[in-house]
Structure 1
Amino acid sequence: MNAVRGFSMAVIVAALAVPQAAAAELPEPVRAMIDAAISSGDEGKVRIVAELARTTNPSDIAEIDAIVATFEANVAARKAAEAEARQAALREADLFDNWSGKGELGGFRATGNSSNTGLTAGLTVDRQGIAWRHRLTGRVDYQRANGTTTREQFLARYEPNVNVSDNFYVYALAQYERDRFQGFSGRYAISGGMGYQALKGEDVQLSVKAGPAYRVTEFIDGREESRIAGLVALDFDWNITERLKLTQDTNAVAETGGSAVAIIDSRNTSIDLITGLDATIAKSLKARFSYAVEYDSNPPPGAVQTDTLSRVTLIYDF
């Protein structure tokens, strides 16, 4: 019996004397795969690769989590530094800095007060500050055949706005239109009011705005009307895919594809609806198809209430 006890104690002592196996390290191929994803800078790719590594190496989850946590901390720090650099650049910019824009050229097909096909051109420039934004827009639709002008529509617009909170902003608007075939040689409108950013996701954005307006219309027969009005507008953008975008934007945001705006007074209500579909061709080049409905509830004598415009254009961002 003593011999048995002696043997058991010897076995226990020997077992305690054997060094414990070191904790397993993440296999080199797995670590290389995670490092490659991190090197790409693609956060989505890192998350996918890390999840696969956790599934196939459950004993190394803690190490994988530590690697991902370090990557995410570095990304957050970089984004914060970039945001601060952008804010500093905006604060130090002068009047001629931070402007961007887009030029548009193509053709249109009109029905309503005129039925023809012609050329359309547009230009939008935009300056974004810390709280302020300025946007200027111009557009021309023109057609001439056999020495006679059959379509001549001009639009010029300026809109500044300022953010007052994360979701609310104050806007102002000054606009000029000319369309002899709709019965006016000049139509001027000014407006100001509040806007609300209802949705501002990565793929879907929606804002609405409303305010009082004052409009002066100069008719081709020499008459002139001045009226107090109200403006209601909607701005919607939906990135369907990386290369395809549906837009339904406010008049004050100058047809980035579509618009919906109503100017309402006691005598004549004007509604502009423009829906567009943008397809990216290259980094700075897009193709656009848009369909516009322009409605005046009380048009001048001889004019009809509704005009439509179908446009196919190329847009260059700069």
Structure 2
Amino acid sequence: MKTKIATLLLSGVCLVSFPVYAQEQQSIESIVDAAIASGDTEALDAISKYAGDPRIAAKIEAYKAYVAAKEAAALAEKNEAGFFANWEGSGELGAFQSGGNTTSVGVTAGIALTKESERWRFKFRALADYQRTNSTTVREQGVVSLEPNYKFSDRFYGYGLAQYERDRFQGFSSRYTLSGGLGYQVIKSDAMQLDVKAGPAWRKTNFVGGGSDSSVAALAAANYALKISPAITFNQDLSAYIQSGNNSYNSLSALNAKLSDKLTARLSYQIDHETNPPLGLKKTDTLSRATLIFGF
């Protein structure tokens, strides 16, 4: 009799617990589907570790294999693409206020492009500031640069740099720079990044008043990015050219507010300092910009 009673009780427990178990598994599977839809691989790893259901684990592994294959195909496409393919970047347009050798308000426009493969990264930058008042140009400044990087590892890379500058109000009608050296990503995370690089450089400067100068310099630069919130980031770029007769220092601080997926508002402040500018010109120029950045 006792055996029959125990059997009946066990059967009752199973009948009650099976629907509960089935409901829990359905709930876990719905969470897995939501994580797959959002691409949350960290959540999927945690579920796979503790779920204890081979069917759910197999579903997660199948999705991870699909993602890995997709990433491998995208990387292969980048590696095989020609130089003019797969560039990504943004355009910048806005206004500025300057102080130092000139005090004025004008327009600024620029473009920033990046192309990346498994071993190579290319960065192209162009930025121009211009104002014309009463048929007189009161500010004319521009810089164009191309920087290829060869990645020795995830953080360590070699760089090259070709750059053209024009800033008549700092005393030069054109300045050309060629440089090459080594760089390292000191900090690399979703919230913060810090890159440093250094190497020799050759510079040729053509002065507004006539004459030119060519010299070998040492280049050191740092680029810092901090993600303050999902919509706000802070950037700080520093560079220094140390050479005989005149050193050049540049600082660019920027606060970026993301307005949409493709639109960002930026406030920036730039300082350019020449230790030995042409006679009659101030050593330091500053430039405040308010711009909109369009991603593409």
After TM superposition, the score normalised by the length of structure 2 is 0.88
Query: CA-to-partner distance for each residue in 1:153-210, whole Å, 9 max, x for gaps?
Result: 0111111111011211000001111111111111111110000011111221111000
Instruction: Say which SS state the counterpart of residue 177 (structure 2) adopts.
Output: strand
Answer whether contact 2:32 2:60 (CA < 8 A) is retained. no
Displacement of 1:79: 2.7
Displacement of 1:13: 4.0
CA distance in 2 between partners of 1:272 and 1:83 (Å):
38
Residue 256 (structure 1) aligns with: none
Structure 1 stretch displaced more, 26-35 or 233-242 = 26-35
Which residues of 2 match residues 242-281 of structure 1 at below 5 A? 242-248=230-236, 259-281=237-259
Query: CA-to-partner distance for each residue in 1:187-240, whole Å, 9 max, x for gaps?
Result: 111110000011111221111000001111111111211111001001111122
Q: 1:242 to 1:158 in 2, by over 3 A?
A: same
Q: 1:267 to 1:68 in 2, by over 3 A?
A: farther
Displacement of 1:27: 5.0
Instruction: Say which SS state the counterpart of residue 259 (structure 2) adopts.
Output: strand
Displacement of 1:67: 7.1
CA distance in 1 between partners of 2:39 and 2:123 (Å):
34
CA RMSD of aligned residues (A): 2.6
CA distance in 1 between partners of 2:163 and 2:80 (Å):
30
Q: Gaps (5+ residues) in structure 2? A: none
Residue 308 (structure 1) aligns with: 286
Q: What code does the residue aligned with 2:232 have? A: L
Residue 274 (structure 2) aligns with: 296
Query: CA-to-partner distance for each residue in 1:242-276, whole Å, 9 max, x for gaps?
Result: 2111112xxxxxxxxxx211111122111110011
Among 227, 230, 244, the alignment partner of 2:215 is 227
Which residues of 2 match residues 4-153 of structure 1 at below 5 A? 11-15=1-5, 18=8, 20-21=10-11, 22=14, 24-25=17-18, 26-27=20-21, 30-40=24-34, 41=36, 42=38, 47=43, 63=51, 69-70=57-58, 72-153=60-141
Answer whether contact 1:192 1:212 (CA < 8 A) is retained. yes
CA distance in 2 between partners of 1:46 and 1:261 (Å):
38
Q: What code does the residue aligned with 2:216 have? A: I
After TM superposition, the score normalised by the length of structure 1 is 0.82
Q: 1:68 to 1:111 in 2, by over 3 A?
A: farther
Identity of aligned residues (%): 39
Q: What code does the residue aligned with 1:306 have? A: T
How many residues matched?
A: 288
Displacement of 1:18: 4.2
Answer whether contact 1:34 1:46 (CA < 8 A) is retained. no
CA distance in 1 between partners of 2:41 and 2:53 (Å):
15
Q: 1:210 to 1:68 in 2, by over 3 A?
A: farther
Q: 1:75 to 1:127 in 2, by over 3 A?
A: same
Residue 156 (structure 1) aligns with: 144
Flag the structure with larger Rg: 1
CA distance in 2 between partners of 1:31 and 1:218 (Å):
74
Answer whether contact 2:93 2:108 (CA < 8 A) is retained. yes
Answer whether contact 2:160 2:179 (CA < 8 A) is retained. yes
Query: CA-to-partner distance for each residue in 1:122-177, whole Å, 9 max, x for gaps?
Result: 01222212211122211110011111110000111111111011211000001111
Q: Gaps (5+ residues) in structure 1? A: 1-10, 52-60, 249-258
Residue 178 (structure 2) aligns with: 190
Instruction: Say which SS state the counterpart of residue 20 (structure 1) adopts.
Output: helix
